[in-house]
Structure 1
Amino acid sequence: MHPIHLSGAEILVEMLIAYEVEVIFGVPGDTNVPLYDAMRRAQDRVRHVMVRDERSGGFMADAYARLSNKPAVMEVPSGAGAMYALPAIAEAHYSSVPIILITSDTPLKMEGQGVITELECAKLFEPVTKGSWQIKAARKLPEYVRRAFRLATSGRPGAVHLVIPEDVLAEVVAVDTISLHVETECGHFPSHPAGAGAGQIRELIELIGAAKRPLLVAGGGTNRSKAGPLVQKIAERLNLPVVNTITGQSAMADDHSLAIGVVGDNGFHPHANRAMEEADLLIYLGSKIGSVVTIGWTFPSANRHRKIVQVDIDASVLGHNTENALSICGDIRAVCQDWLAAIPDGMAVDSAWADRLNLWRGEFWQAAQSEFDDDSLPLKPQRIVKALNAQMDRPYSILSDPGTPTPHMTRLLRLHDVESVFIIPRAYGGLGYALPAVVGAHLARPHVRPIGLFGDGSFAMSMGELETLVRLDVPAILIHFNNACFGWIKALQRLHGHNATYSVDFTGLDASLLAKAFSIKAFRVVSAEDLDAALAEAFAFDGLVFIDIVVESIADVAPPVYSWLRRIGHDPLSIPPVTNVRLGMPASS
């Protein structure tokens, strides 16, 4: 039984609970005191996770939503709190991750009077959300909460922002004047999945039947709709090779004979990119066909005989960057269900196509062994991946920053368990993601251990959340790539050809000492022997672990980035792959 009257804050909390929200990420502030009082009284029904920084809280919510398949809820106070949250909300929105951000704002009665922290928050978030509104009366809260969940989870998922002034949170409303009903289908995403028309499915099957070298390209939308198992069934029924974008990684297990590898620019597999070049039919699932997967819209090369099929939940991206033979607007999972059901008995792609790709793949991995076995100092990222691969004997949630760890991890990390996921934020590539994201990953999947991968530039932006991991007892393995620079940017500066770098180096430190200050089990790694021992102990330990690894900078030796290798005169598609190409002289010379 609800009481006769509820405050705006109580209405908000009751609505969130009715939508089966289990966790609210947030930071206390001047304007959200009424909300915290309401959450305190409901703490046996919904959990509040206090974070140390609004941006980090947004990254936690991002990872939670990706792995729970539920819209995540984040609350922040007015002014600086809202501004600090902006980068994380933008990343989630353009990565098609549903987050509902609630800003507790300055009182309406003080509007326009210059009260401290006053800011037009609704306008601030308009460019990076599906909707951003200020609520001016407590009785309107149920309507706006329903609208927020409906919008965040329908069509292309994304972020929604509600601005609730402090006096609206405190305002009391008679319960019999409002409706607290919820739309249960909007508690998960996509809330209203659309499939393909029967005619479109027939046309897709006809295109595959007419092709000699068809290739399926799994993008981020494949993972967002949890379509990986269906993609695998389709691939197996048709003997259809599958490649994936960075955000499409872990749609299929890496050791599957039809999972060829990563395409595009960053961390690519040469055999997977060669498959793109030779394919006469490309079927993109949940990919915008943007700048990374197409290497600045130069790849694969123009070929009027190659046909393109694009399937996406967002009609606005269909044919935006390509001339499509077929465009299908629909949820990837729903479309794959229709597709699988319609495949004719006995239909299959000539096995010679997959056999050729696997021959190239085998040559690549044989050649990569020399990279894995290099124990030279400072440690190469490839050697770190080898040590990680040796420990991947069960499911893990792997969260990586988009900087130093990305190219080698994307290319060489091998995930064999279908429950394992590999997440890198690719919309804006902001640093500081991985360390807080392991919190969201753990709360979404407490039965799967999270691993965070980040460079020292990233660590400096989010190290305060070490306290959050300790407080919440998150059993993460945190791996810090320590090279005392913004390695990605330093490499870009060197790529201009004059070997001049500026304002990209910083003081090296023993980050394990910082972790120990938070009472975290920590290791300092400077050799291959240290690395293997530290990882073995970390994976055997069931608590939070921090491993600080002194690593070779990607600014010194070129990582597997297609456009970079091409720029310095090497063939990115060569097998054996191009390795140990110096970008310039060390900064100290």
Structure 2
Amino acid sequence: MQYSGARILIEALIEQGTDTVFGYPGGSVLFIYDELYKNSDRIRHILVSHEQHAAHAADGYARSTGKVGVCLATSGPGATNLVTGIATAYMDSVPLVAITGNVATGLLGKDSFQEVDITGVTMPIVKHNWIVKDVNELAEVVREAFAVARSGRPGPVLIDITKDVTAAMAEWRPADSGTAALAPRDKNSPAGESSLNLRAQRLAERNTRQTVTEADIGAAVKLLLEAKRPVLYAGGGVIISGACEELKNFAERLNAPVALSLMGIGSFPSDHRLYTGLIGMHGTVASNRAVQKADLLVSIGARFSDRVTSQADKFARGAKVLHLDIDPAEINKNVKSEAWVIGDIKCIIRTILGKLPQKMETQWNGDIDGWKKKSPAANSRDTALHPRFILEETAKRLGPEAIVATDVGQHQMWTAQFYPFTKPRSFLTSGGLGTMGYGLGAAEGAKIANPAKPVVLFTGDGCFRMNCGELSTVNAYKIPVLVVVFNNGVLGMVRQWQTLFYEGRYAETTLDRPPDFVKLAEAYGLTGYSAHDKASFTAALENAMKDIAAGKTAVIDARIDRDEKVLPMVPGGKPIDEQIL
């Protein structure tokens, strides 16, 4: 069947299971949008207010489901507006396919109108990218892109398609059922041999290759059997691999405390007796002290970020480190390991459990329970409306199936500390890049992907200014999201640092300016509520939930004290057990 390149792209996306594309049109993708229009009964397009939100929405779709998210933008500024969202996904290992249009092949490299070398721009922040200048290669490139995005340690990829390719005609051949999308192409096929495709094939094969060996498993088991005070440090890789139940079994077998990175939140239930909470700069007393007192630290799908280790040479100073990860590049990158096993986390834990005794004892002697009583508090002062109250009341109202998105800053850390997460893929946040403006797009994508689950965005007034334009999208498509703005009139986390380390010089962190968020919500056709104490927040939450039930996004402007702090806190460069409490 002869189809245009644009139609082939749509067919290939549907073939890969894509049901939703987040995007914004422009000249270089007009043929693609024409096909989206014609095939709107087969694939849904969500028109966002800015291309960055398209990337964040695709990211939220992917994080909340494990599927590949898809976003689409035109050439030049449309493509560059995706970059922050692509980088966000890259840092947090989110499977994403970003599709950009470009100028016609004959205009490449001539500084043509709205031309940019987006493959060059994104090279450091994608697993792989392609520029398609031959319509005969388009379908196979799409298949390869999805395979690379999903395989091994997931991540974003980018497909740049010149405008003439979207208009050109070629034969559309559906992939055979069960056929590997990355099989080497026959040199005599219409598309010929593509070095790009072969490189992509090798990349995907390397990502999916398992390197678990009996020797590595044996070394891991030996360390576990010798340990008296083991600690499990779990990250986002546990969630990505679907190994949350295995992690729970592992912890219970070892009788070992479990500390989580920010990306690991949700991988282990917060109400479990072995849960010690967040680790690192704003980690709990229990997690940070346990790691510093451990004789074995087992890192599971985590990368030893600087926000976890702080002063790396004093991190887990008395412990041997056993590192379990799918990405060999993470081994010994930030912290030296005694032993490691490289491969799929689920398979690794199952294999190790098969070689351990059914009951193991530790020698923590009640230390963990004692430290857990020193629970994190935002501040000991009694304020009218405390972040912990906001989070706990919202959690009670939404229930355990809720998906929580955040932006970045104090509200993000309070959410990680206080929200009672019990399920994986329920916490969506920008961990590695720390992207202000991430949250509303991510919440939107998550709600589209999970229509039966309640979705809430916790954001700050500084962050909400960066993404509030996306309220137009959630209203237009009737996407009901609860938005709670922690409004303290300042850039809270930066102000906290200025208070503690810059002698109170609040340079450019006071946000004494509009908008009124209640009126802003109303301007977008939504409802807004203001809360300044516990009673008014409870009333606002009740009213907002009625709006959500009616299929409408609601915004709560929650006024909190500008000097409320995220505590505990490890000052930069200090060991993680030297906390400001």
TM-score using structure 1 length: 0.88
- Structure 1 CA distance for aligned equivalents of residues 478 and 154 of structure 2: 31
Match among 271, 280, 291 for residue 264 of structure 1: 280
Q: 1:19 to 1:571 in 2, by over 3 A?
A: closer
What are the superposed Cα offsets for residues 18-37 of structure 1, whole Å, 9 maximum, x if unpaired? 11111111111111110011
Match among 516, 524, 527 for residue 518 of structure 1: 524
Q: Secondary structure at the match of 1:52?
A: coil
**Does structure 1 conserve the Cα–Cα contact (< 8 Å) formed by 2:95 and 2:149?**
yes
Match of 2:566 in 1: 559
Letter in 1 for 2:304: I
Sequence identity percentage = 28
Match of 1:527 in 2: 533
Q: Does 1:234 align with 2:239?
A: no
**Does structure 1 conserve the Cα–Cα contact (< 8 Å) formed by 2:529 and 2:540?**
yes
1:360 deviation in Å?
2.4
Q: 1:244 to 1:195 in 2, by over 3 A?
A: farther
After the TM superposition, which residues 94-105 of structure 1 pair with which residues of structure 2 at under 5 Å, given as runs?
94-105=91-102
Q: 1:509 to 1:174 in 2, by over 3 A?
A: closer
Match of 1:132 in 2: 129
Q: Secondary structure at the match of 1:342?
A: coil
Letter in 2 for 1:97: V
Q: Does 1:484 align with 2:489?
A: yes
Q: Does 1:348 align with 2:360?
A: yes
What are the superposed Cα offsets for residues 54-80 of structure 1, whole Å, 9 maximum, x if unpaired? 111111111111122111111100111
Q: Secondary structure at the match of 2:405?
A: strand
1:536 deviation in Å?
3.3
1:140 deviation in Å?
0.9
Q: Does 1:90 align with 2:80?
A: no
1:561 deviation in Å?
4.9
Match of 1:313 in 2: 326
Q: Does 1:168 align with 2:165?
A: yes
**Does structure 1 conserve the Cα–Cα contact (< 8 Å) formed by 2:310 and 2:573?**
no
Q: Secondary structure at the match of 1:481?
A: strand
Q: 1:98 to 1:183 in 2, by over 3 A?
A: farther
Q: 1:186 to 1:54 in 2, by over 3 A?
A: farther
Letter in 1 for 2:285: P
Match of 2:559 in 1: 550
After the TM superposition, which residues 285-300 of structure 1 pair with which residues of structure 2 at under 5 Å, given as runs?
285-297=300-312, 299-300=314-315
Match of 2:217 in 1: 201
Match of 1:502 in 2: 507
1:489 deviation in Å?
2.0
Q: 1:15 to 1:487 in 2, by over 3 A?
A: same
Say which is worse superposed, 397-406 or 234-243, in terms of deviation. Answer: 234-243
Match of 1:8 in 2: 5
Q: Secondary structure at the match of 1:398?
A: strand
After the TM superposition, which residues 573-584 of structure 1 pair with which residues of structure 2 at under 5 Å, given as runs?
573=579, 578=581
Letter in 1 for 2:347: A
Match of 1:222 in 2: 238
- Structure 2 CA distance for aligned equivalents of residues 385 and 47 of structure 1: 33
- Structure 2 CA distance for aligned equivalents of residues 349 and 314 of structure 1: 31
What are the superposed Cα offsets for residues 161-194 of structure 1, whole Å, 9 maximum, x if unpaired? 111011110001134xx66457677899998473
Q: Does 1:376 align with 2:383?
A: yes
Q: Does 1:322 align with 2:335?
A: yes
Q: 1:113 to 1:419 in 2, by over 3 A?
A: closer
Q: Secondary structure at the match of 2:158?
A: strand
Q: 1:290 to 1:23 in 2, by over 3 A?
A: same
What are the superposed Cα offsets for residues 5-26 of structure 1, whole Å, 9 maximum, x if unpaired? 1111111111111111111111
Match among 399, 407, 413 for residue 405 of structure 2: 399
Match among 371, 375, 390 for residue 360 of structure 1: 371
- Structure 2 CA distance for aligned equivalents of residues 499 and 436 of structure 1: 34
Q: Does 1:281 align with 2:296?
A: yes
**Does structure 2 conserve the Cα–Cα contact (< 8 Å) formed by 1:375 and 1:383?**
no
1:201 deviation in Å?
2.4
Q: 1:207 to 1:571 in 2, by over 3 A?
A: closer
1:317 deviation in Å?
1.0
Match among 430, 445, 457 for residue 435 of structure 2: 430
